[in-house]
Amino acid sequence: MSEASAATGGQSELISLDAGELARRIHAREVSSVEVTRAHLERIEAVDGPGGVHAFLHVDAEGALAAAEAVDRAVAEGGPVSPLAGVPVAVKDNMTTTDMPTTCASAILDGWRPPYDATVVARLRAAGLIPLGKTNLDEFAMGSSTENSAFGTTRNPWDLARIPGGSGGGSSAAVAAGEAPLALGSDTGGSIRQPGAVTGTVGVKPTYGTVSRYGLVAFSSSLDQIGPCARSVLDAALLHEVIGGHDPRDQTSVDGPLPPVVEAALAGARGDLAGVRVGIVTQFSGEGYQPGVLAAFTDAVRVLGELGADVVEVSCPSFSYALPAYYLIAPSEASSNLARFDAMRYGLRVGDDGSQSTDEVMSQTREKGFGAEVKRRIMIGTHALSAGSYDALYGKALKARTLIVRDFTAAFETCDVLVSPTTPTTAFPIGERTDDPLAMYLADLCTIPSNLAGNAALSVPCGLAADDQLPVGMQIMAPALADDRAYRVAAAYETARASASDAGPRIPELRALEGSR
């Protein structure tokens, strides 16, 4: 297998299979977890190096193979194994891992080894999934392109000159490129869904509080939510059920049953949406939206109608406040959360030469350790929370949040789910928006409302834009704790699309780096 896959850029058949199918074959002993893990490690070796995708900041081949061997032993002994046991997974590098560094793509945490595992990582391990490594992101998850990483930009597997979205560009790109069948992301304003859309993969932001954030390095605590990245809706649901559920270590953790997302994905795949009321959010179209994106989205909505859904238009006028409110609330919370990086207990320390005070060392360390976007947001948050601005900025942003919640509540009285394009454009060229933070922020226009309201939302691929042949995502939003509705609709759409003649490749053409560059 090694020789064959080396000749084809690590293109073993195993890297293109769904996680569910990989698990089935591993558990039936048709293939070993070690073989599956090795195939993905070879793929990473082939496409992730300099000039390549650069989805990973750290790969733990030894640890992954050891974990795979343990699963293979358990399978051989005939003991019960969990549904995804033996399947490799990539983890966004803002979730703590005891056996790998956790950097948040920031110089301030370069090389840091956390003393504990995030709950989601512990659950992956307990379920027998195989952590391959840690994926790239915008520093502290602040960005929409991974260009804010201190360790280099991740490139979109569909076009290496373009961004893979962000902040979780590494996780989505790894899944898109066949480097991992599954990955974990974190979504504060769209950081799972927007990279999913522009890499042609599935990305889910679960209902706020339904997946533990213990061990997720906090960015904006009232918005942050961990969720799954995958190449199919069912795979996302399978991973969702591994990581979800109550955790006493997270005070915001919802103490109740997880929505039945796997069941919903299986039901949806039967392709019947009769009686499902789908609302198109009218605010998410028009100026600033790429024609190819709108055309692909409109076609996807037509398919939902063909599957029996009742499609209507709904207006959510307060969504126009979502972007301004988000870029006040998230920086405000970030300015507080990132105060923990004080150069005293862990991470970088600069200027401690015996002559300088703690205060000076702290300021110099944060200056050296944080990138420009992180500094900008800390200062905007500091401004929004200062005595003279609090009422006019932070206070008003919280009122905007109320209006957005009310718009959702009203819309969900007449609709089961809401739909929109996930992001206004396809993947833009690397470098295009780096000097213009406001232009960058527009990438999150459609995804932010669900974070502010704390409800469930996902992005499912809906083909390529006719104008640039790059992936487009459809966002499906559902009420809080009704994640299963979004999964059902997404799975029905996915099944219909898979049988369409223009379904296209699920893993883009990506040649091995050796010899091609």
Partner 1 sequence: MSDITRDDVAHLARLARLAVTDDELDTFSRQIDAIVDTVSAVGDIPDDIPPTAQVVPRTNVLRPDTTEPSLPRETALAGAPAAEEGRFRVPRILGEEL
Tokens of 61: 């081949």
**CA angle centred on 280, ends 278 and 282, rounded to 5°:** 160
Judged by CB under 8 A, the stretch of 165-173, 174-182, 192-200, 391-399 that binds partner 1 is 391-399
Give yes or no: 92 in active site. Answer: yes
Tokens of 28: 């039936």
Tokens of 404: 């957005």
Short-list 497, 442, 445, CA closest to 471: 497
**Site membership for partner 1, residue 478 (CB under 8 A):** no
State how far the Cα of 285 lies from the Cα of 327, in Å rounded to an integer.
Answer: 21
Judged by CB under 8 A, the stretch of 172-180, 231-239, 244-252, 412-420 that binds partner 1 is 244-252
Say which of 12, 33, 106, 167 is annotated catalytic: 167
Give yes or no: 375 in active site. Answer: no
Give yes or no: 167 in active site. Answer: yes
Tokens of 455: 């409800």
Q: Which of 29, 73, 113, 517: binder of partner 1 (CB under 8 A)?
A: 113
> Nearest distance from residue 343's CB to partner 1, in Å?
6
Q: Which of 157, 347, 371, 471: binder of partner 1 (CB under 8 A)?
A: 347
Rg of the Cα trace of the chain? 22
Short-list 285, 280, 282, 283, CA closest to 310: 280
Handedness of CA 260, 265, 266, 268 (dihedral sign): positive
> Nearest distance from residue 115's CB to partner 1, in Å?
5
**Site membership for partner 1, residue 174 (CB under 8 A):** no
Secondary structure letter of residue 423 according to DSSP: S
**Site membership for partner 1, residue 349 (CB under 8 A):** yes
Compute CA 105 distance to the chain's CA centroid, rounded to the nearest angstrom. 15
Which is nearer to partner 1, 24 or 376 (by Cβ)? 376
Q: Which of 85, 175, 453, 458: binder of partner 1 (CB under 8 A)?
A: 453
**Site membership for partner 1, residue 216 (CB under 8 A):** no
State how far the Cα of 186 lies from the Cα of 452, in Å rounded to an integer.
Answer: 15
Q: How many residues bind partner 1 (CB under 8 A)?
A: 70
Binding mask 350-379 for partner 1 (x = CB under 8 A): --x-x-xxxxxxxxx-xx--x-x--xx-xx
Which is nearer to partner 1, 393 or 512 (by Cβ)? 393
Which residues are within 8 A (CB) of 329 and not within 5 positions of it... i.e. 6 or more apart?
220, 222, 223, 394, 397, 398, 401, 452
**Other beta carbons within 10 Å of 364:** 17
Which is nearer to partner 1, 411 or 512 (by Cβ)? 411
**Site membership for partner 1, residue 177 (CB under 8 A):** no
Judged by CB under 8 A, the stretch of 153-161, 232-240, 306-314, 339-347 that binds partner 1 is 339-347
**Site membership for partner 1, residue 68 (CB under 8 A):** no
- For residue 449, the surrounding DSSP H or E stretch is helix 448-453
Say which of 92, 144, 220, 318 is annotated catalytic: 92
> Nearest distance from residue 409's CB to partner 1, in Å?
12
What single string gives the DSSP state of each residue in 92-151? Answer: ETTB--SSS---TT-GGGTT---SS--HHHHHHHHTT-EEEEEE--SGGG--SSSTT-TT
**Site membership for partner 1, residue 252 (CB under 8 A):** yes
165: left (phi over 0), alpha (psi -120 to 50) or beta: left
Which is nearer to partner 1, 28 or 438 (by Cβ)? 438
Residues near partner 1, by CB under 8 A? 112-116, 208-209, 222, 248, 251-252, 254, 320-321, 323-325, 327-328, 335, 342-349, 352, 354, 356-364, 366-367, 370, 372, 375-376, 378-380, 382-384, 386, 392-393, 395-403, 405, 437-438, 452-454, 480
Catalytic residues: 92, 167, 191
